[in-house]
Amino acid sequence: MAEPLPAGLILHPDGCPRCWWAGQDPLYVAYHDTEWGVPEFDSRALYEKLILDGFQAGLSWITILKRREGFREAFDGFQPEIIARYTDDDVARLMGDTRIIRNRAKIVGTIAGARAWLRIEESGPGFSRFLWDFCDGGPIQGNPHSRADVLTETDVSKRMGKALKAEGFSFCGPTIIHAFMQAVGMVNDHLTGCHRHAACAALASA
């Protein structure tokens, strides 16, 4: 008889054990297998993910994932150079766009974040370096064995969130930032028995 999987792992029909949160939704499983935990160093892509994690606050990630293409269309491909020039007319347009989460504070925060992104890109080491320096330039290997081992915030996420807020970003509390760090591969929090854990660890080494 096969030994039971550690708490937090699900054995899928393809024979691969995966982290519990991916469930069985094909869209979520694909996201788990191809994006979550993969180190991301592109400044624009990091801005997009940070903003989407902010929109997730109070919601499930699958809700945002299913609307991601709509978000991208509504927000001009999450190009900070364009979003930074948004006006009140754009806020009104977005508040009427059913493809996104119509939260005024989050929309206004997206614009303020774009302006902050530009300042960091133009006057500092760049947004990617700004963020990755909190991880000493490389992914942190979490090595959680079960669901209970996965943290929701860390000292690093607290410091990063505080720094982002000081730069002008909003919706960047330590829990949101830790989820962001997991998603963009700053932390490898795939469970050690998940088929993606070793793959993401190898990407970190590379």
Q: What is the pLDDT of residue 1?
A: 42
Angle at 66 between CA 96 and CA 165, to 5 degrees: 70
Q: How confident is the model over 32-89, as pLDDT tens digits?
A: 999 999 999 999 999 999 999 999 999 999 999 999 999 999 999 999 999 999 999 9
DSSP-assigned letter for residue 188: E
CA 75 to chain centre: 17
Measured CA to CA, the distance from residue 132 to residue 139 in angstroms comes to 8
pTM value is 0.95
Determine whether 4 is exposed, middle or buried from the number of CB atoms within 10 Å of its CB (0-12, 13-18, 19+): exposed
* pLDDT (average), residues 115-133: 95
